[in-house]
């Protein structure tokens, strides 16, 4: 085995993908980039390939693959271009890859996450939707494949950093966990005015710079709803032992409340390179590129409850976790469709919540006890078709 960590960055052209490459560039002695992937942003992927010369580049939207090949050939870049969603699984399972950064957005990331888990990789999980959809099946693949699952989502990284390495001690140590949320751009908006907000307003996050889908999720607090579900699986906690609180400064990234009521928290500037560097180096620590906290200029660290009228989506997480198996996959698929329609200007901001709540209410998850990935994907597709029709009716 090479002494360097051989890394595949899935979703390398996105916000997490580019931050990952930024951290990797600071540590050429310990990280080698073996594979990159993009869906359709050709120029960004080509530029990354020229810089990193990975063995493989995956273009999941196959219609762009020949253009990537043409440009790389023109530049004399030796990277081999693979195409289609299946190629993501191939690079995730490649025996010459040690670690996979799962930074594709949405349930589209599930098959490659499972491939990395089953082949025992270090799996750096940013793609929370995969875990929300895959749930128990995902965690079983991690256990059976002997993978090392390290959360990249800042809240889950914070919890992970506060817990000891030995997972078997977690259940007896932890009373509950508290996920912090910034409250997004609409924390103080009059709930009645939320119907009319635009995609650009929803994407203008006050503390984090992120892709557009997760930015909308932060504005609705569906991001926190997905994170509650993510935490349920990552830390094996009952839903009632997971709480969420608004912390507008985004300095305390989350907290563990121990059995004795001692509270452990992880703090830092809001910069995703911190959890990424932690995941890449674990159990060591390496430089991330993030700036340090200016302690004396911190005016206050405040915490407030999420208002159900403004953020009704948040509360769907506990509802889905108590529902039949497959409910969280229903919620995720509905939300992906709704956010896509909202970003395209076809439905209103509060319609996102309405479609999500209706999907949970009306769609029977119908899954066997231990579903295969194809059955999860079939459910995901069924929900997308249904919610797509409901969304069409809203715009008709």
User: Is the Cβ of residue 83 or residue 153 nearer to ligand NDP in the bound state?
Assistant: 153
Residue 305 CB, nearest distance to ligand NDP (Å)? 23
Using CB under 6 A as the binding rule, the residues of this chain from 101 to 140 that contact ligand NDP are 103-105, 108, 126-129
Interacting partner of 276 out of Mg ion, ligand NDP, none (Cβ under 5 to 8 A depending on kind): none
Q: In 10 A of CB 7, how many CB atoms?
A: 27
Phi, psi of 25 (to 5 degrees): -65, -25
* 340 lines the binding site for Mg ion (CB under 5 A): no
CA-nearest of 194, 193, 212 to 203 is 212
Residue 67 CB, nearest distance to Mg ion (Å)? 33
Beta strands in the chain (DSSP E): 5-10, 31-38, 56-59, 80-83, 99-102, 122-125, 148-151, 174-181, 242-246, 252-258, 263-267
Interaction mask 232-271, ligand NDP, x per CB under 6 A: ----------------------------------------
Among 5, 6, 7, 15, binds ligand NDP (CB under 6 A): 15
Give the integer Cα–Cα distance in Å for 28 and 16: 19
- Stretch in the footprint of ligand NDP (CB under 6 A) among 34-42, 70-78, 164-172, 242-250: 34-42
* 40 lines the binding site for ligand NDP (CB under 6 A): yes
Interacting partner of 182 out of Mg ion, ligand NDP, none (Cβ under 5 to 8 A depending on kind): none
User: Is the Cβ of residue 40 or residue 193 nearer to ligand NDP in the bound state?
Assistant: 40
* 60 lines the binding site for ligand NDP (CB under 6 A): yes
Residue 356 CB, nearest distance to Mg ion (Å)? 18
| Residue 333 contacts residue 383 (beta carbons within 8 Å) | yes
Give the integer Cα–Cα distance in Å for 306 and 224: 11
User: Is the Cβ of residue 44 or residue 307 nearer to ligand NDP in the bound state?
Assistant: 44
Q: By Cβ distance, which residue is nearest to ligand NDP?
A: 14
Phi, psi of 345 (to 5 degrees): 75, 20
User: Is the Cβ of residue 11 or residue 185 nearer to ligand NDP in the bound state?
Assistant: 11
Q: What CA–CA distances, in Å, run from 301 to 182, 246, 249, 296?
A: 11, 11, 7, 12
Among 153, 217, 271, 336, binds Mg ion (CB under 5 A): 153
Interacting partner of 193 out of Mg ion, ligand NDP, none (Cβ under 5 to 8 A depending on kind): none
CA-nearest of 208, 217, 213, 107 to 154 is 208
Among 20, 24, 34, 39, binds ligand NDP (CB under 6 A): 39
* 23 lines the binding site for ligand NDP (CB under 6 A): no
Give the integer Cα–Cα distance in Å for 189 and 326: 33
Interacting partner of 103 out of Mg ion, ligand NDP, none (Cβ under 5 to 8 A depending on kind): ligand NDP
What token pair was written down for 13? 């052209």
* 173 lines the binding site for ligand NDP (CB under 6 A): no
- Stretch in the footprint of Mg ion (CB under 5 A) among 148-156, 237-245, 282-290, 296-304: 148-156
Phi, psi of 148 (to 5 degrees): -105, 110
Interaction mask 65-104, ligand NDP, x per CB under 6 A: --------------------------------------xx
What token pair was written down for 94? 């490649």
Using CB under 6 A as the binding rule, the residues of this chain from 200 to 219 that contact ligand NDP are 208, 210-211, 213-214
What token pair was written down for 370? 């231990």
Secondary structure (DSSP) of 280-347: HHTTS----SPPPP-GGG------BPPPTTT-GGGGHHHHHHHS-TTHHHHHHHHHHHHHHHHHTTSS
| Residue 246 contacts residue 301 (beta carbons within 8 Å) | no
Residue 369 CB, nearest distance to ligand NDP (Å)? 27
Interacting partner of 17 out of Mg ion, ligand NDP, none (Cβ under 5 to 8 A depending on kind): ligand NDP
Contacts of 278 by beta carbon, 8 Å cutoff, 6+ apart? 150, 157, 161, 285, 288
Residue 253 CB, nearest distance to Mg ion (Å)? 8
Binding site for Mg ion (CB under 5 A): 153-155
Binding site for ligand NDP (CB under 6 A): 11-17, 38-41, 60, 103-105, 108, 126-129, 153, 208, 210-211, 213-214, 272
């Amino acid at each position: 085995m090479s002494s360097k960590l051989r890394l595949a960055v899935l979703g390398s052209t996105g916000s997490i993908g580019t931050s990952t490459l930024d951290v990797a560039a600071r540590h050429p002695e310990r990280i080698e980039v073996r594979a990159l992937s993009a869906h359709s942003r050709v120029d960004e992927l080509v530029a990354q390939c020229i810089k990193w010369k990975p063995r493989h580049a995956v273009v999941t939207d196959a219609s762009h693959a020949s253009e990537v090949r043409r440009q790389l050939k023109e530049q004399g870049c030796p990277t081999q271009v693979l195409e289609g969603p299946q190629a993501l699984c191939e690079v995730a399972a490649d025996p010459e890859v040690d670690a996979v950064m799962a930074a594709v957005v949405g349930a589209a990331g599930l098959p490659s996450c499972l491939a990395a888990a089953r082949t025992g990789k270090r799996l750096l999980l940013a793609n929370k939707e995969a875990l929300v959809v895959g749930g128990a099946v995902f965690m079983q693949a991690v256990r059976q494949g002997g993978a090392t699952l390290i959360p990249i989502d800042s809240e889950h990284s914070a919890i992970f950093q506060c817990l000891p390495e030995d997972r078997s001690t977690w259940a007896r140590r932890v009373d509950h966990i508290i996920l912090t949320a910034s409250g997004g751009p609409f924390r103080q908006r009059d709930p009645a005015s939320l119907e009319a907000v635009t995609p650009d307003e929803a994407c203008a996050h006050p503390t984090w710079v992120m892709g557009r889908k997760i930015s909308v999720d932060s504005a609705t607090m569906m991001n926190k709803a997905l994170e509650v579900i993510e935490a349920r699986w990552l830390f094996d906690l009952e839903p009632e032992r997971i709480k969420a609180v608004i912390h507008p400064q985004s300095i305390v990234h989350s907290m563990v409340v121990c059995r004795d009521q001692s509270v452990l928290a992880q703090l830092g500037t809001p910069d995703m390179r911190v959890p990424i560097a932690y995941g890449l180096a674990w159990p060591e620590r390496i430089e991330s590129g993030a700036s340090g906290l200016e302690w004396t200029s911190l005016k206050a660290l405040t915490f407030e409850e999420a208002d159900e009228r403004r953020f009704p989506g948040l509360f769907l997480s506990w509802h889905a976790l108590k529902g039949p198996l497959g409910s969280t996959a229903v919620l995720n698929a509905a939300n992906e469709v709704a956010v896509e329609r909202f970003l395209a200007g076809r439905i209103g901001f509060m319609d996102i919540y309405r479609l999500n709540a209706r999907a949970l209410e009306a769609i029977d998850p119908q899954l066997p006890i231990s579903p295969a990935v194809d059955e999860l994907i079939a459910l995901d597709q069924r929900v997308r078709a249904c919610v797509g029709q409901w969304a069409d009716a809203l715009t008709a």
